[in-house]
Structure 1
Amino acid sequence: MTSRPVRLLIVGPQGSGKGTQGIRIAETFGIPVVSTGDVFRANVAQGTDLGQQVKSIIDAGQLVPDELTSAVVRDRLAQPDAAAGFLLDGYPRNLAQVRHLDEFLSSRDEALDAVVVLAVSREESIARLHKRAAEQGRADDTDEVIAARLSIYETETAPILEVYGERGIVDEVDGVGSLDEITDRIIAALHARGLARSAAA
């Protein structure tokens, strides 16, 4: 049986484990993870026109604007391996990017199937980020830096989840527990929506 394309977005604060869970879920469904950071790095490494634009902005210490971010993601989603579905990680991160993604997907007669939100308390996120900083020797992960990142997530992501919540596609999953427990919760939520895992998984 050929399963239909599955188009997902995973959302969660820094320290929620969304990167790890995103990879696990994408493997389960046989779809690529489309992470803005990875896509930026790939374009820069390949020296594409988009990559050169991104590099000059990052080198200048500026944030990549929404229009350029969306153009890079559109280019990635147009590649053949994303035809069978994808899992977005880190995009869209604000309402402007939601609008850009909506326009792109609707032009292809597509839409997101589900938005997985990893629910982790601010205290848990901070504890995990401190642990990660200590393990990786990241002295720049100070209390102030961590608090600033979490505040940006809270102010920019809340409106996004409101939009997707109104569409009835948000699945909030408890992000505390073992890796396998959290993965199982996500898969159970997606199965409840009738989304089938890849036959190859």
Structure 2
Amino acid sequence: MRIVLVGPPGAGKGTQAAFLAKNLAIPHIATGDLFRANISQGTPLGQKAQEYMRAGQLVPDEVTIGMAKGRMEEEDAAGGFLLDGFPRNIAQAQALDGYLDETGLKLDAVLDLEVPEDEVVKRIAGRRICRSDSSHVFHVEYSPAKTEGVCDVCGGELYQREDDREETVRKRLEVYHSETEPIIDHYKTQGLVTTISALGAVSEVTERAMQAISAE
């Protein structure tokens, strides 16, 4: 199966993508992973991306598209893939359409993870990260540390990342609404979109997603 996963920041796309990819035995292709792999391998596209990132500029669509195409052409993606974070705007969606047309492939589904905006803000702004080990993550409401401000695992200081502050989250949501959300309507015209509530336990959301895919 070939699936695109869409949703605002804080919707749990990465978590759901990992579960779905494992259940469906297809690779999880995430934009962040593409960038890291190309940069670490020193590919021409990775070098271009790094130039823009060092200058504090957005990586152009053509670079991201090139990375995504290269990954979709790898052997493990021959039987399908799950795209997470790509496409992120109409230009990228149109480029993906063109690539699939050229290769004689098609998308099977676009899963739209829906979360109320206030819940997104609560989820992200409540995160607290350990300064000693960033893999130790807590939440002031959903998974609080036993002692406020102190990591349960190693005793390190817990802090709120700049990206997780409420005003930053709301700006990220504005970008999502203006740039990424329009691709949902783009894919609705192709009859591919299923909207899924991303509220509740992770397993419940995964079950909804699997049911939506099996109905395709």
Normalization by structure 2: what TM-score?
0.84
Q: As a proportion of its length, which structure holds more helix? A: 1
Give distance in 2, aligned partners of 1:108 and 1:167: 18
Name the SS of the counterpart of 2:214 in structure 1. helix
Unaligned runs of 5+ in 2: 130-137, 139-157
Residue in structure 2 matched with residue 43 of structure 1 by the alignment: 38
Name the SS of the counterpart of 2:39 in structure 1. helix
Residue 143 of structure 1, CA deviation: 1.8
Counterpart of 1:31 in structure 2: which amino acid?
Answer: I
Name the SS of the counterpart of 1:92 in structure 2. coil
Name the SS of the counterpart of 1:155 in structure 2. helix
Residue 133 of structure 1, CA deviation: 4.2
Identity of aligned residues (%): 43
Residue in structure 2 matched with residue 185 of structure 1 by the alignment: 208
The structure whose Rg is larger is 2
Name the SS of the counterpart of 1:172 in structure 2. strand
- Superposed counterparts of 1:1-201, under 5 Å: 6-133=1-128, 135=138, 137-140=159-162, 141-193=164-216
Give distance in 1, aligned partners of 2:67 and 2:159: 31
Unaligned runs of 5+ in 1: 1-5, 194-201
Counterpart of 1:50 in structure 2: which amino acid?
Answer: L
Name the SS of the counterpart of 2:126 in structure 1. helix
Task: Report how many aligned residue pairs link the two structures.
Answer: 188
Name the SS of the counterpart of 1:27 in structure 2. helix
Give distance in 2, aligned partners of 1:53 and 1:19: 25
* Residues 130-178 of structure 1: per-residue CA shift (max 9 Å, x gap): 1224636333022221110011111112211001011111010110010
Residue 57 of structure 1, CA deviation: 1.0
Counterpart of 2:159 in structure 1: which amino acid?
Answer: G
- Over the residues paired in the alignment, what is the CA RMSD in angstroms? 1.1
Name the SS of the counterpart of 2:82 in structure 1. strand
Name the SS of the counterpart of 1:124 in structure 2. helix
Give distance in 2, aligned partners of 1:151 and 1:189: 28
Residue in structure 1 matched with residue 144 of structure 2 by the alignment: none
Give distance in 2, aligned partners of 1:65 and 1:137: 32
Counterpart of 1:137 in structure 2: which amino acid?
Answer: Y
Give distance in 2, aligned partners of 1:133 and 1:39: 26
